[in-house]
Chain A
């Protein structure tokens, strides 16, 4: 039963991820007084891309085609660590949050290589910028997770969720507030949203993620797009699971799971709305201001860790 639900959790992430993207795009359009495309548009895009042929630059090696597959696979495995509906995940091991961070890094490393395999300026440009952003995002990402792990006296993500579930909602500690702030900033950088990167930009010179995937087409592009949608949803789910897991099922009955699913949908909807509002109201940062942005995240994460020691 537990295994079944955990498998369903992964499938949910896998299948609902494009919808999350579609909803964000639609919400942004409405906020900007446009009509916007249907929320199902990302599915249609994926389907279309999967049917097309894979165009490979003549200079490229096997890495070019391997990169999207590794990215997709590693993102999917990372998703297996995040509990959604109740306090357990498919994969649950001590210290697994480090594994989660590094699995995302594995996918990103290969995407950077794939970008450079195209042999044009844009791939290198995107990879170089991604290297800057991801390098500086990794430390606050991990430190924030470390602080939550210490506060929850547990080393696995599922364990942290289980601990938080039995806490009083109104006894929100400073550690959690700081870690949440840090992780929220990191999440924006990791998923390439405004103000760090603009996923809808059409100008190559301002692109980060889009410049890396410029050379990709067909099924490879579909895998990359799907993987980045999953990554966005996984990081949202991680924020929800670590900081506001209340509402998740405590038993494995159909009733509890049903309620948990509804609550989860509401929480994701709230995050999506916030993201759409932020993206519509904030301008993209100049690239050399991104280190400052992540510097704030690092400072918050460091404070969170210091507070875990001071407040015990």
Chain B
């Protein structure tokens, strides 16, 4: 039954591009692609829920009819990620059904409706593949379709360069992933075979597989320093696509990593875990620090994806350390924390990107310095954006808190390990997580405070209006999910326990995980009642002008800007930023009154300068040297062919 539904879901999603192409001349059928896609996603959610909650497993195998081994199968882990993909995509598509016609017309709109379902399908392929071929097929398509979707928004020189960086890094990452699969040869027919053969592999080979998977999936996930493409590619895509890329696509990398590290390899020595922890710490801290300094909303959100991937890696790293220390109970908790944070981040990050889309729809800019006062003009968008901000910061009663709390709880268990390094490093990682949380709070106080509160800083922001109903509904659904998971985490945690049981055989989630589900609803009820009671008591209010020290003429330029807000933090963490700034003062007559002062500050991350630049330069130099082989003289080429032939003959003689 589920197998049939799953096949229906696949076929329906794949038919959307065809329907779009066939009906593009027929204006009445304009609503057809989004409705068809949403319908098929609803089927996908049902299938995934049956797999995740009900534990149903099923296989769709076409290896018999195809000439290559191509099979999809859904176990609990796949079902969880399938649920994540479908349930986050559905509201995003609902949002797009109104956003896309408003912003794109003609061929560009058709391309969006052709590529979006294909992009979704490629992610589904990655999450459900059970043969390396199917996995890599989906993996490559995911990169290509997302690059295509970015191109729809224009192909200026700058954008093409950014897409080039994206494609280049994705292919380098994919090479590592392919390498990780190849190391399983000759047992790389399907995942079950790989799982069985991994135990018999020599330790050095296991380490090689782990490192290749770490680098390959890390590139896609965007861990520092492999994150370079992320703040370039995500902000320039159409907003719903950014939502899918940041919210969903990054999670497929986490899926791949979990599949390799836990399912295939079943954990390893503890240094694997420390490596992942280190990647998590560095990504989390640098991601949020770079985000604070941004004032372009979508770039800021892209850096926050780096941060949240860091938090997920903290959980994964802790799980690996626990596995190495023979504490599968706590490994299960840390793994559940990481997986739950995947879901939570998918929900609130796509909500934030949709919010950014709504802002650009209403105020025609994403520069925080041009926004302000939007809450009074866009009540629904503002409210859901506030919920998303509270969630990403990890405040209690919102979903981000639950997964961060679980991560904290697992770090604390580090003190029970007999190994001294684990007992010191894991509890200290809690401090890093707290610092990340504090910085994220500062950053989103800035984002929401500058964009939605106070006075509008530009005419566009002043004349902004609430977005259309489908867009509100899409965002509202995601915001509801943030609050529901934040108050009733048991809804997901219970089945998450069964999922970790499958990955770490025979271990149920520790009692600690469920204790929170008992407290949160009560607190939520208490807070709700108290807030409502106080709000009801102090109803009377009187509007006045803002206090301006008794002087007239307070204007919006006197408010703190995004740059001003983040200045103290940027100053304290100035080592991270290293901006090149130039101040030019044109002096006037009297000494204290210059004619003009211009200030320019260019920020390039030190990774580009010191890590990537030498490598790129070396490759370019090597290419220049190799070019000397290409003389253009046909005799020389004939000589090459002759030499190659001789070399081959000699080689064959001795082998």
Q: Is the CB of B568 within 8 A of A143?
A: no
A310 to B448, CA, bound (A): 44
Interface residues of A in 98-155 (CB under 8 A from B): 98-99, 101-103, 105-106, 108-109, 112-113, 115-125, 127-129, 131-132, 134-143, 146-147, 149-150, 155
A69 to B535, CA, bound (A): 7
Interface residues of B in 371-413 (CB under 8 A from A): 373, 375-376, 382, 386, 390, 393-397, 401, 405, 408-409, 411-412
Q: Is the CB of B568 within 8 A of A223?
A: no
B398 to nearest A CB, angstroms? Answer: 9
- Contact partner of A135 (CB less than 8 A), chosen from B454, B523, B534, B569, is B569
Q: Is the CB of A54 within 8 A of B540?
A: yes
Q: With A96-B519, A155-B409 as given contacts, are A113 and B438 in contact (CB-CB < 8 Å)?
A: no
A39 to B612, CA, bound (A): 64
Q: Is B621 part of the contact surface with A, judged by Cβ < 8 Å?
A: no
- Contact partner of A99 (CB less than 8 A), chosen from B412, B435, B519, B546, is B519
Q: Is B647 part of the contact surface with A, judged by Cβ < 8 Å?
A: no
Q: Is A308 part of the contact surface with B, judged by Cβ < 8 Å?
A: yes
Q: With A91-B523, A127-B449 as given contacts, are A119 and B454 in contact (CB-CB < 8 Å)?
A: yes
Nearest CB to that of B524 among chain A residues?
Answer: A77
Q: Is A215 part of the contact surface with B, judged by Cβ < 8 Å?
A: yes
Q: Is the CB of B427 within 8 A of A305?
A: yes
- Contact partner of B548 (CB less than 8 A), chosen from A55, A62, A120, A127, is A120
Give B22-60 as 1s and 0s: 1 = Cβ < 8 Å from A's Cβ atoms. Answer: 000000000000000000000000000000000000000
Q: Is the CB of A147 within 8 A of B534?
A: no
Q: Is the CB of A95 within 8 A of B542?
A: no
Q: Is the CB of A150 within 8 A of B412?
A: yes
Q: Is the CB of A143 within 8 A of B430?
A: yes
CB contacts (< 8 Å) of B566 on chain A: these are 128
Interface residues of B in 502-525 (CB under 8 A from A): 511-512, 515-516, 518-519, 522-523
Q: Is B434 part of the contact surface with A, judged by Cβ < 8 Å?
A: yes
Q: Is the CB of B431 within 8 A of A301?
A: yes
Q: Is the CB of A132 within 8 A of B548?
A: no
Q: Is A245 part of the contact surface with B, judged by Cβ < 8 Å?
A: no
A126 to B465, CA, bound (A): 30
Q: Is the CB of B534 within 8 A of A116?
A: no
CB contacts (< 8 Å) of A200 on chain B: these are none
A60 to B530, CA, bound (A): 23
* Contact segment of B87-95, B151-159, B554-562, B631-639: B554-562
- Contact partner of B527 (CB less than 8 A), chosen from A77, A91, A95, A149, is A77
Nearest CB to that of B568 among chain A residues?
Answer: A132
A176 to nearest B CB, angstroms? Answer: 15
Q: Is the CB of B542 within 8 A of A131?
A: no
* Contact segment of B2-10, B160-168, B245-253, B439-447: B439-447
A163 to nearest B CB, angstroms? Answer: 14
CB contacts (< 8 Å) of A298 on chain B: these are 431
A146 to B375, CA, bound (A): 38
Q: Is B477 part of the contact surface with A, judged by Cβ < 8 Å?
A: no
Q: With A69-B534, A112-B449 as given contacts, are A54 and B405 in contact (CB-CB < 8 Å)?
A: no
- Contact partner of A73 (CB less than 8 A), chosen from B432, B444, B534, is B534
B214 to nearest A CB, angstroms? Answer: 27
Nearest CB to that of B422 among chain A residues?
Answer: A309
Q: Is A170 part of the contact surface with B, judged by Cβ < 8 Å?
A: no
What band does the interface of chain B fall in when counting residues whose beta carbon is under 8 Å from A? 35 or more
Q: Is the CB of B375 within 8 A of A63?
A: yes
- Contact partner of B438 (CB less than 8 A), chosen from A66, A96, A139, A291, is A139
A72 to B534, CA, bound (A): 10
Q: Is the CB of A219 within 8 A of B405?
A: no
Q: With A112-B449, A139-B434 as given contacts, are A93 and B396 in contact (CB-CB < 8 Å)?
A: no
A278 to nearest B CB, angstroms? Answer: 24
Q: Is the CB of A112 within 8 A of B445?
A: yes
- Contact partner of B572 (CB less than 8 A), chosen from A117, A223, A288, A306, is A288
A108 to B395, CA, bound (A): 11
Q: Is B452 part of the contact surface with A, judged by Cβ < 8 Å?
A: yes
A112 to B448, CA, bound (A): 10
A70 to B512, CA, bound (A): 28
Q: Is the CB of A98 within 8 A of B408?
A: yes
Q: With A143-B430, A309-B423 as given contacts, are A127 and B560 in contact (CB-CB < 8 Å)?
A: yes
Nearest CB to that of B408 among chain A residues?
Answer: A98
Q: Is the CB of A138 within 8 A of B437?
A: yes
CB contacts (< 8 Å) of B558 on chain A: these are 120-121
Interface residues of B in 448-480 (CB under 8 A from A): 448-450, 452-455
Q: Is A276 part of the contact surface with B, judged by Cβ < 8 Å?
A: no
Give B613-640 as 1s and 0s: 1 = Cβ < 8 Å from A's Cβ atoms. Answer: 0000000000000000000000000000
CB contacts (< 8 Å) of A287 on chain B: these are 568
Q: Is B575 part of the contact surface with A, judged by Cβ < 8 Å?
A: no
Q: Is A57 part of the contact surface with B, judged by Cβ < 8 Å?
A: yes
Nearest CB to that of B555 among chain A residues?
Answer: A119
Q: Is the CB of A215 within 8 A of B547?
A: yes
Q: Is the CB of A58 within 8 A of B544?
A: yes
Q: With A61-B452, A109-B395, A113-B449 as given contacts, are A91 and B534 in contact (CB-CB < 8 Å)?
A: no
CB contacts (< 8 Å) of A127 on chain B: these are 445, 449, 560, 565
Nearest CB to that of B567 among chain A residues?
Answer: A128
- Contact partner of B571 (CB less than 8 A), chosen from A61, A64, A95, A288, is A288
CB contacts (< 8 Å) of A59 on chain B: these are 373, 376, 454-455, 546
B560 to nearest A CB, angstroms? Answer: 2
Q: Is B648 part of the contact surface with A, judged by Cβ < 8 Å?
A: no
Q: With A112-B445, A287-B568 as given contacts, are A143 and B415 in contact (CB-CB < 8 Å)?
A: no
Q: Is A198 part of the contact surface with B, judged by Cβ < 8 Å?
A: no
A132 to B572, CA, bound (A): 9
CB contacts (< 8 Å) of B568 on chain A: these are 128-129, 131-132, 287-288
CB contacts (< 8 Å) of B432 on chain A: these are 139
Interface residues of A in 155-205 (CB under 8 A from B): 155
Q: Is B11 part of the contact surface with A, judged by Cβ < 8 Å?
A: no
CB contacts (< 8 Å) of A6 on chain B: these are none
Q: Is A94 part of the contact surface with B, judged by Cβ < 8 Å?
A: yes
Q: With A95-B408, A117-B454 as given contacts, are A136 and B448 in contact (CB-CB < 8 Å)?
A: no
Q: Is the CB of A125 within 8 A of B560?
A: yes
Q: Is the CB of B512 within 8 A of A155?
A: yes
A101 to B408, CA, bound (A): 12
Q: Is the CB of A105 within 8 A of B412?
A: no
Q: Is the CB of A121 within 8 A of B559?
A: yes
B596 to nearest A CB, angstroms? Answer: 23
Nearest CB to that of A50 among chain B residues?
Answer: B538
B618 to nearest A CB, angstroms? Answer: 39
Q: Is A74 part of the contact surface with B, judged by Cβ < 8 Å?
A: yes
- Contact partner of A93 (CB less than 8 A), chosen from B435, B439, B515, is B515
Q: Is B18 part of the contact surface with A, judged by Cβ < 8 Å?
A: no
B482 to nearest A CB, angstroms? Answer: 14
CB contacts (< 8 Å) of B21 on chain A: these are none
Q: With A131-B565, A135-B439, A139-B431 as given contacts, are A102 and B401 in contact (CB-CB < 8 Å)?
A: yes
A129 to B415, CA, bound (A): 35
Q: Is the CB of A57 within 8 A of B545?
A: yes
Q: Is B543 part of the contact surface with A, judged by Cβ < 8 Å?
A: yes
Q: Is B428 part of the contact surface with A, judged by Cβ < 8 Å?
A: yes
Q: With A61-B375, A95-B516, A147-B427 as given contacts, are A124 and B435 in contact (CB-CB < 8 Å)?
A: no
- Contact partner of B545 (CB less than 8 A), chosen from A58, A117, A141, is A58
**Contacts A54-B538, A124-B454, A132-B569 supplied; 18 other A-B pairs, CB < 8 Å:** A91-B519, A93-B518, A99-B405, A105-B393, A106-B396, A109-B393, A113-B386, A113-B449, A116-B450, A119-B453, A124-B560, A140-B431, A143-B430, A150-B415, A150-B427, A155-B412, A155-B512, A306-B428
A residues sitting closer than 8 Å to B (CB atoms) are 53-66, 69-70, 72-74, 76-77, 91, 93-96, 98-99, 101-103, 105-106, 108-109, 112-113, 115-125, 127-129, 131-132, 134-143, 146-147, 149-150, 155, 214-215, 218-220, 223, 287-288, 291, 298, 301-302, 305-306, 308-310, 312
Listed A/B pairs (7) with beta-carbon separation below 8 Å? A56-B542, A66-B531, A127-B565, A146-B431, A308-B427, A309-B427, A312-B423
Q: Which 8 A-B pairs have the closest CB atoms?
A: A124-B560, A116-B449, A138-B438, A131-B442, A135-B438, A61-B375, A309-B423, A142-B434
